[in-house]
């Protein structure tokens, strides 16, 4: 046929423009066309294969097969040599009903296969790492997140560890922000109980809803109930731990129902007819004096003694000031990683202010203050947590001699004062309009808001 007897430059240009490997053979299997894609894919030059039988080069060639069987094959996976993979499609060619040859198109999928193998290997490695991490977690103390070397604090941790594997109910006393839930979770993990750790904040739930939250309800138990009903927190904590935070805020009318659960080990959902047997360990926490509440008649004595089999007292941060440097530095490290900040240290003046502060919000307050200061340090390209980043209420605790020293010698402190004065002047010129002030200062309005917060300029009117 003319197609195979004469060179067709136009056809060759078309074939060479195709990135996939294209091979055309005549009815006898003699190679007639071999495009540049084929040269690149197989590493065989055109002159080395043209006019040779395809089987000489590729003994298992799909082209020889389709000429013999006179049928097409689509997307056949092939690995002609080591670390080489492709997908081949081949079809016989007919003219006027007569078989004149065949055409094959090969697409290189080596990179895809290697990527898939790499992903599979990576997944396998991740599974191994996850197992190793799981094994390490089992051997690691569940109280690792409870940072502190203070004697009273370490005594609280030791007591918690000692009773963790028992079924004794525990009462944790501590001010807000001292880490009562952290202790409760650590005790649950250390206990090895198979069920979940289920927390419920008694002060955050309206009194009329707390029974439904604790006991759950059946379908149609009351107006507004879910059609399918709902499991309560007590049932969800079966074989696990129920953490009753702020137990002192539990309604007095609800307390005997909880006491009955602790005594009988059974619950009945609202609207239900059958009781359910449950196995739970209760850890309660409070920042109130439950003993005094019992005397005042605002907390049931029998429930109090049921809950306080073991009492763990967590000291407030002001009573463990020796732990403040440890906690502050750890929080700086954590937030530097979270926000991508490279901060070297906390200045001595800031640490002194921390040590002098009362920390009514305890560890939670310290954590929040550190996060705020790290974010502000990032925005100001600072490399150290310094006094100019302190909130006003804590900055007041910096000794006056340190402030004077900074005003005379600390360039960052001097620049901060200049910046603050410039912002105040710009606001005055702009008539307290922040948009105009930001324009005068040639900074984004968001940056201006950040600096207003930094310098405690709260008296400026909002526009």
For the cut 90, the answer to whether the pLDDT of residue 145 exceeds it is: no
Alpha-carbon gap, residue 23 to 40, rounded angstroms: 13
Give the model confidence (pLDDT) of 155-190 as tens digits. 999 999 999 999 999 999 999 999 999 999 999 999
Q: What total number of domains does the chain contain?
A: 4
Task: Please report whether residue 128 resides in a domain.
Answer: yes
Alpha-carbon gap, residue 140 to 161, rounded angstroms: 13
Give buried/exposed letters for 342-372 (b at 16+ CB in 10 A, else e).
Answer: ebeebbebbbebbeebebebbbebbbebbbb
Place of tokens 């138990």: 221
| pLDDT, greater one: 142 or 231 | 231
Task: Please report whether residue 343 resides in a domain.
Answer: yes
306 with 166, same domain: the answer is yes
Residue 54 near residue 23, CB atoms below 8 Å: yes
Provide the CATH number for the domain around residue 99. Answer: 3.30.450.20
251 with 301, same domain: the answer is yes
Please report how the helices 362-379 and 324-339 are oriented relative to each other, as an axis angle in degrees rounded to 10.
40
- The sheet with strand 73-81 has its strands ordered as 31-34, 21-26, 98-108, 84-95, 73-81
Task: Please report whether residue 460 resides in a domain.
Answer: no
What pLDDT is recorded for position 10? 77
What pLDDT is recorded for position 404? 47
Reference 275, options 314, 326, 218, 221; nearest CA is: 218
Task: Please report whether residue 303 resides in a domain.
Answer: yes
For the cut 60, the answer to whether the pLDDT of residue 116 exceeds it is: yes
Task: Please report whether residue 461 resides in a domain.
Answer: no
Give the model confidence (pLDDT) of 324-361 as tens digits. 999 999 999 889 888 888 777 888 888 889 998 999 99
Give the model confidence (pLDDT) of 226-267 as tens digits. 767 888 899 999 999 999 999 999 999 999 999 999 999 999
What pLDDT is recorded for position 461? 42
Burial of 129 (0-12, 13-18, 19+ CB in 10 A): exposed
426 with 440, same domain: the answer is yes
302 with 342, same domain: the answer is no
Residue 317 near residue 366, CB atoms below 8 Å: yes
Alpha-carbon gap, residue 67 to 25, rounded angstroms: 9
* pLDDT-based confidence at residue 462 (cuts at 50, 70, 90): very low
Give the model confidence (pLDDT) of 362-401 as tens digits. 999 999 999 999 998 888 888 888 888 888 888 876 765 5
Burial of 76 (0-12, 13-18, 19+ CB in 10 A): middle
Average pLDDT (35-42) is 89
Give the model confidence (pLDDT) of 406-418 as tens digits. 544 556 666 777 7
Q: What is the pTM of this model?
A: 0.58
Alpha-carbon gap, residue 299 to 221, rounded angstroms: 29
What pLDDT is recorded for position 277? 93
Provide the CATH number for the domain around residue 388. Answer: 1.10.8.60
329 with 257, same domain: the answer is no
DSSP structure string for 226-262? -TT-EE-HHHHTTTSEEEEETGGGS-TTTHHHHHHHH
For the cut 50, the answer to whether the pLDDT of residue 86 exceeds it is: yes
Give the model confidence (pLDDT) of 198-219 as tens digits. 999 999 888 888 888 899 888 7
Domain of residue 115 covers 111-140
For the cut 50, the answer to whether the pLDDT of residue 463 exceeds it is: no
What pLDDT is recorded for position 224? 62
381 with 240, same domain: the answer is no
Residue 409 near residue 435, CB atoms below 8 Å: no
Cβ contacts of 263 within 8 Å, gap of 6 or more:
306
For the cut 60, the answer to whether the pLDDT of residue 425 exceeds it is: yes
55 with 157, same domain: the answer is no
What pLDDT is recorded for position 82? 66
155 with 301, same domain: the answer is yes
332 with 425, same domain: the answer is yes
Reference 430, options 417, 416, 418, 443; nearest CA is: 443
For the cut 90, the answer to whether the pLDDT of residue 279 exceeds it is: yes
Reference 216, options 244, 235, 195, 199; nearest CA is: 235
300 with 276, same domain: the answer is yes
């Amino acid at each position: 046929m003319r197609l195979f007897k004469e060179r067709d430059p136009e056809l060759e240009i078309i074939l060479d423009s195709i990135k996939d490997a294209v091979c055309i053979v005549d009815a006898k299997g003699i190679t007639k066309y071999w495009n540049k894609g084929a040269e690149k894919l197989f590493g065989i030059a055109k002159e080395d294969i043209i006019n040779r039988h395809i089987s000489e080069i590729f003994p298992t060639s799909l082209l020889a097969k389709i000429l013999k069987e006179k049928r097409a094959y689509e997307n056949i996976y092939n690995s002609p040599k080591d670390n080489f993979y492709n997908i081949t499609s081949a079809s016989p060619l007919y003219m006027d009903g007569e078989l004149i040859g065949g055409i094959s198109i090969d697409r290189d999928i080596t990179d895809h296969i290697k990527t898939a193998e790499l992903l599979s290997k990576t997944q396998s490695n991740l599974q191994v790492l996850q197992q190793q991490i799981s094994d390490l977690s089992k051997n690691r103390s569940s109280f690792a997140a409870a940072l502190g070397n203070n004697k009273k604090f370490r005594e609280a941790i030791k007591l918690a560890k000692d009773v963790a594997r028992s079924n004794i109910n525990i009462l944790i006393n501590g001010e807000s922000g001292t880490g009562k839930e952290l202790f409760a979770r650590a005790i649950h993990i250390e206990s090895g109980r198979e069920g979940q750790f289920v927390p419920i904040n008694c002060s955050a739930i309206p009194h009329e809803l707390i029974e439904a939250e604790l006991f759950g309800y059946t379908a149609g138990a009351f107006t507004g109930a879910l059609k399918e009903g709902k499991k309560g927190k007590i049932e969800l904590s079966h074989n696990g731990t129920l953490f009753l935070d702020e137990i002192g805020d539990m309604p007095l009318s609800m307390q005997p129902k909880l006491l009955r659960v602790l005594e009988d080990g059974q619950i009945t959902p609202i609207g239900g007819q059958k009781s359910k047997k449950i196995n739970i360990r209760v850890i309660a926490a409070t920042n109130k004096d439950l003993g005094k509440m019992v005397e005042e008649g605002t907390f049931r004595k029998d429930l109090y003694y049921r809950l306080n089999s073991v009492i763990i007292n967590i000291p407030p941060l002001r009573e463990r000031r020796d732990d403040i440097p440890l906690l502050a530095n750890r929080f700086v490290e954590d937030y530097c990683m979270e926000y991508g900040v490279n901060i070297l240290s906390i200045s001595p003046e800031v640490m002194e202010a921390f040590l002098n502060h009362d920390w009514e919000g305890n560890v939670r307050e310290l954590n929040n203050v550190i996060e705020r200061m790290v974010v502000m340090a990032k925005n100001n390209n600072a490399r150290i947590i310094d006094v100019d980043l302190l909130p006003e209420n804590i900055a007041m605790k910096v000794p006056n001699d340190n402030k004077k020293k900074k005003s005379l010698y600390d360039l960052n402190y001097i620049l901060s004062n200049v910046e603050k004065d410039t912002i105040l002047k710009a606001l005055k010129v702009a008539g307290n309009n922040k948009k105009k002030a930001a324009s005068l200062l040639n900074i984004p309005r968001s940056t201006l808001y950040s600096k207003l917060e930094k310098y405690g300029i709260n008296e400026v009117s909002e526009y």
